[in-house]
Amino acid sequence: MNKRKVIVIHLAVFLLLILLLFFASEPLLSKFATGIHNVGMWTDLIIIGTIGILILTTISCLIFLKQKKIVGLIIIFVNFFWTWFSLDLLYRYHFTEFHPTFYIPNWILIVNSIFAIVGIVIGLKLINKKVSIKTTLLINLTLILIGLIIQQI
């Protein structure tokens, strides 16, 4: 399949998913946020859902086009943001007058930082063509899911 067909198919899937989100958002909010949903929640769902669908279809398109460097940079960016978030929160807990309602335990922030650093290294290996895209995405998704699961404990 040539590049033009891959891009057109991904664009069509993106538009189809956006339409599906638009028409399904109100029934979803009615079912899962009964009595508390409003226009603000609906617009937030549409905006955040559209951004999520855009990111996922773009990554899928890049994977089909075998753009290892761009996918590697996206993985590095996501993991860098995850590292920064975890370490910044850890710093705020101990060195500032930051008192949130809910504290994430220190060990979870440290484990998330380690997972994110491993993700950065894997993204660099993808850019250097030492690991395949499939392996990189599988490992990175697994690390992110484990990080989210332990945060819920």
Can you tell me the distance from the alpha carbon of 114 to that of 151, in angstroms, rounded to the nearest whole number?
Answer: 14
How many of the other CB atoms lie within 10 Å of CB of 75? 25
Residues 73, 127 contacting (CB under 8 angstroms): yes
Mean pLDDT calculated for residue range 93-106: 88
Average model confidence (pLDDT) for the chain? 90
User: Please, which pLDDT band fits residue 103 given cuts at 50, 70 and 90?
Assistant: confident
Q: Which residue in 130, 131, 151, 139 sits closest to 79, CA to CA?
A: 139
Q: Decide: residue 109, CB within 10 A, 0-12 exposed, 13-18 middle, 19+ buried.
A: buried
Average pLDDT value for residue range 21-27: 91
pLDDT digits (tens, 9 = 90+) for 30-78: 888 878 778 888 898 899 999 989 988 988 888 888 888 888 888 999 9
Whether 114 shows a pLDDT value over 80: the answer reads yes
The reported pLDDT for the residue numbered 67 is: 83
Q: What pLDDT shows up at residue 33?
A: 80
The pTM for the full model equals 0.72
For 80-86, what is the mean pLDDT? 94
Residue found by looking up tokens 């946020």 in the block: 33
Give how far Cα 86 sits from Cα of 116, 131, 136, 149, Å.
Answer: 9, 26, 22, 15
Evaluate whether 143 touches 115 at the Cβ level (below 8 Å): yes
pLDDT in the model for residue 117: 96
